[in-house]
Structure 1
Amino acid sequence: MSDTSLKQRINDDVKAAMRNKDKERLATLRLITAAIKQKEVDERIELNDDQVLGVLEKMIKQHKDSIEQYENAGRSELADKEKAELVLIQEYMPAQFSEAEITALIDEAIAETGASEMKEMGKVMGLLKPKLAGRADMGQVSALIKARLSN
């Protein structure tokens, strides 16, 4: 990745979508920039790339929940709109770790913390969270750690 911040890349893409009159892409990019601005205003800070990834992760989770709800309600046109937005949001996420890579990182963290039982799961998660942020589903990571520590 270049020196351009994630926020700058998103803003550049907004301008490109405006120039190309790509209404759907522009609408989704505006959702992203609005979410970033909202967090900056609420917390009175300028977001760095990690914080922007946090905003994007939250949006991805919300979109997945919405898709599931729309599909359960038989509203496929709304589900399809959410899916299209989700694909665009995911373009800004770093490459995801494979399950094998996640498992290896979990094993390292367990060895490093010396964790051997469930009550020590927090130590392992604390060590992994910065390494996996934006690159793995933390719910899946949590389940894998639980499986490891409950043996």
Structure 2
Amino acid sequence: MSVMERLNQDMKQAMKDKAALKLSVIRMVKAAFQNEEINKGRQLSEDEELTILTRELKQRRESLHEFEKGGRLDLAEKTREEIEVLSAYLPVQLSENEVREIVREAIASTGASSKKEMGKVMGVIMPKVKGKADGTLVQKIVSEELPT
């Protein structure tokens, strides 16, 4: 089942359950998908849908950080709930150890020997972990694994 089909099903269920927050998040994601489809002039691939979901999740995490920093616990809690809803549509996230193993394989395959070649390593890794790992975590691990 595609992400859009799941969203449609879950939207109907959220309406029946009167789950306002979940309904709101689903509508927001669907709107983001539709805007992207209009811009591209075609239906989105699952990979593009994952990219949009990841972008929306990243925005929520940044907002959560700012709300917590500003002492807005009410908004922080709402944002946490939105993150929970969005996370349900992403593939299972890789553990730090799994990401570290992928990073080591990428470093070996590219022959990277210093942090100057970080971009080359990231270019190999990111397509493999798209939607399954946070880019910030991947970047941190690549930085740790590459010698100076």
TM-score of Structure 1 vs Structure 2, range by shorter chain: over 0.9
Instruction: Output the CA distance in 2 between the equivalents of 1:110 and 1:48.
Output: 29
TM-fit CA distance, 1:69: 1.5
Output one character per residue of 1:56-110: Cα deviation in whole Å (capped at 9) or x when no partner. Answer: 1111111111112122222211111111111000011111111111111111111
Q: 2:101 aligns with which of 91, 94, 104?
A: 104
Is 1:36 aligned to 2:33, yes or no? yes
Is 1:129 aligned to 2:136, yes or no? no
Q: Quick one: which amino acid aligns to residue 25 of structure 1?
A: K
Asked if 2 retains the 8 angstrom alpha-carbon contact of 1:117 and 1:150, the reply is: yes
Output one character per residue of 1:96-134: Cα deviation in whole Å (capped at 9) or x when no partner. Answer: 111111111111111111111222222211111111001
TM-fit CA distance, 1:150: 2.5
Q: Quick one: which amino acid aligns to residue 124 of structure 2?
A: L
Q: 2:110 aligns with which of 110, 113, 119?
A: 113
Q: 1:93 aligns with which of 90, 93, 96?
A: 90
Q: Quick one: which amino acid aligns to residue 12 of structure 1?
A: Q
What is the aligned length? 148
Moved over 6 A (4+): none
Q: Quick one: which amino acid aligns to residue 47 of structure 1?
A: L
Instruction: Output the CA distance in 2 between the equivalents of 1:84 and 1:8.
Output: 22
Is 1:56 aligned to 2:53, yes or no? yes
TM-fit CA distance, 1:16: 1.6
Instruction: Output the CA distance in 1 between the equivalents of 2:132 and 2:121.
Output: 17
Residue identity over aligned pairs, in percent, reads 38
3-state secondary structure, aligned to 1:9: helix
Give the TM-score normalised by the residue count of structure 1.
0.91
Instruction: Output the CA distance in 2 between the equivalents of 1:66 and 1:122.
Output: 27
Look up the match of 1:148.
Answer: 145
**Alignment RMSD (CA, Å):** 1.4
